[in-house]
Amino acid sequence: MKTLQFREAIQEAMSEEMRRDESIYLMGEEVAEYNGAYKASKGMLDEFGPKRVIDTPISEMGFSGIGVGSAMNGNRPIIEFMTFNFSLVAIDQIINNAAKMRQMSGGQFNIPIVFRGPTASAGQLAATHSQAFESWYANCPGLKVVVPSNPADAKGLLKSSIRDNDPVIFMESEQMYGDKAEVPEGEYLIPLGVADIKRKGKDVTIVSFGKIIKEAYKAADKLAEEGIECEIIDLRTVRPLDYEAVFESVKKTNRLVILEEAWPFGNVATEITYQVQNKIFDYLDAPIVKINTADTPAPFSPNLLEEWLPNSEDVIKAVKKVMYK
C-alpha cells in the first residue's frame, strides 16, 4: 500500500488509463497549463501533450458536446467540470445526447465518456456553487453515477468508469482533494454498482456516500462509547445502486438511517427508503430516517451553513430515534 491524496489518486487513475489506451483524453477548463483547478491533472500535459490534455474556454456546453461527438467516433473522453454546478450549462449534452444516443441509434453508438468534477458544498461558496446533483443525474436512464468517498475507492472506480462503454458521471469534492489514505500498489479496478461495508455493526445500518459519510464515521465512534454498534455502508455508486447490500444489512440490524448531502425532496435516500419498505418491510423494527440538508438554497453565512448541512449530531439523534432511545 502507498499513501496518496485524493487528487493524486484521480491523477494516477487518468494517467494509467491514458498510457494503456491512446483513445482516452482529458478536456476541460484549466486541466492542462494550470495542472487542473484542484491539481488533479498535475504533470499530465507534460506527459501526454496538448492533443490529449486540452484546455478549453469557459464553454461547458461546447466542450461537453465535442466530447460526446468524439465518443461516437471511437474516442474515450474524460470531461472535467470545475464544479458540477457548471454542468447545468452542459446538461442538454449530458441528458439528451450522452445518455440517450445508444438507444436512439439502435445500439450503433456507444458513448464511453466520463464527466467528472466536484459536487455538493465546499465551504462558503453560496447557493449557486454548493449544489449536489447526484440524484438529478441518477434519475436519468443511460447514465451511471459514481460518488467515491476516499482515495482508494476513487482510483479504482475512476479506472472502471473510464473503461465503461456507457456515460459515467463521476462526482468528487473540493473538500476531499487533500484527503490522504492508503491506496493499493499496482493495477486494480473496483466494479461500478457495488457498495462497500466500511464498518460492521449489529444495531443499526447507516447508508451514505461521498464526503458526508465522514459524519457517519464520527457518529459511529461516539455511539460505540454508549454500546451502540453501527454498520456503515458506502454506496460508492448511486446508479446502479447496490440494493442487495442495503437489504442484507437491514435484515441483520432491522433499522436504517440514510445520510445524504442533498435537498430532502426526491433524492437518493428517498429511493432507498421506498425500495427497503417495498422489498423487506417485515424486517424493519422502526421507521426509516433519512438525513438531508435544509430545504433551501445553501446559505453563504458560516453560521447558517453549519445549520444547513447534516452533521454527526444529526446522525446520532437519528440512530437513537430508530432505536427508541
Task: Give me the active site residues, please.
Answer: 60, 129
Enter the C-alpha cell of residue 324. 427508541
Number of DSSP helices (H) and strands (E) in the chain, helices first:
12, 14
Q: By the 8 A CB rule, do 11 and 41 touch?
A: yes
Backbone angles phi, psi at 2, to 5 degrees: -130, 160
Question: Cis link prior to 310 (omega < 30° from 0)?
Answer: no
Q: Exposed, middle or buried, 76 (CB in 10 Å: 0-12/13-18/19+)? A: buried
DSSP state of 231: E
Q: By the 8 A CB rule, do 323 and 256 touch?
A: no
DSSP state of 241: B
Backbone angles phi, psi at 179, to 5 degrees: -65, 135
Give the rounded distance of the alpha carbon of 268 from its chain centre: 12
Q: By the 8 A CB rule, do 53 and 45 touch?
A: yes
DSSP state of 52: T
Nearest to 309 by CA among 258, 263, 257: 263
